[in-house]
Amino acid sequence: MDKIKNVVFDLGGVLVGIDLNRCIAAFRKLGMDAVAEIINPYYPAEMIGRLEHGDITFHEACNQMRALSGTPEVTDDEIARAYGEFLTEIPVAKLRQIDDLRRRGFRTYVLSNNNTASMEYVRRMFTADGKTMDDYFDAVYLSYELHELKPSEAIFRKMIAASGMIPEETLFIDDGQKNVDAAQALGFSVYMPAYGEDFGHVLENLNSYEESL
């Protein structure tokens, strides 16, 4: 196996802290219990899945949420804030770990199931250490822009084609078992951190970790 040259990160649950209960509570506070019941941070379904697939706009998704929950008075902004409650923070230590990878010559990427509203929150979080999100990655691949969702093989194929990365030279870090399994089937080295885990040791000893796989 060749040495690792690239690292691909998921966002929520890997770089960005998540709190599903806080998000569910925010939707329930809006009277949108039916929406709260379908929120799944790993494998989005119904209108959230269509939104993150890039098939509908955020406003169209909000209309479908309002129809589902019978809450026509809830605004798009209120829904965006409720969904944003799912995201907590990006520890500065993680940002500096990515910086360190880049200084050591590794290429870094993001592959995330996401949507336009959440990405506004995420991009602001990446400024915590005085930089922007684009400073940390060679490229950011988002489901709603690629019109594919993890764990489909197609989203990985599109990332490979766009970046030129070789899976056997790439470590994929994701907290979803199906996503990790899909990447591994394509030849990626994989790591699935536990909830809240500091996986800095993996990054610090990257090729030592890779050789042990």
Name the token pair of 121: 């929150």
How many residues are there in the chain? 213
Q: Strands across the sheet with 6-9, in order? A: 139-142, 107-112, 6-9, 170-173, 189-191
9 in Cβ contact with 110 (< 8 Å): yes
Helix pair angle (46-53, 58-69), 10° resolution: 180
Cα-based distances in Å from 121 to 2, 87, 106, 133: 36, 8, 26, 11
Q: Are 4 and 169 in contact (CB under 8 A)?
A: yes
Output DSSP code: residue 175: S
Task: Judge whether 54 and 41 are in contact, CB under 8 Å.
Answer: no
Instruction: Decide: 60 and 76 in contact? Cβ < 8 Å.
Output: no
Catalytic residue numbers? 10
- d(Cα 206, Cα 26) in Å, to the nearest integer? 39
Contact between 59 and 78 (Cβ < 8 Å): no
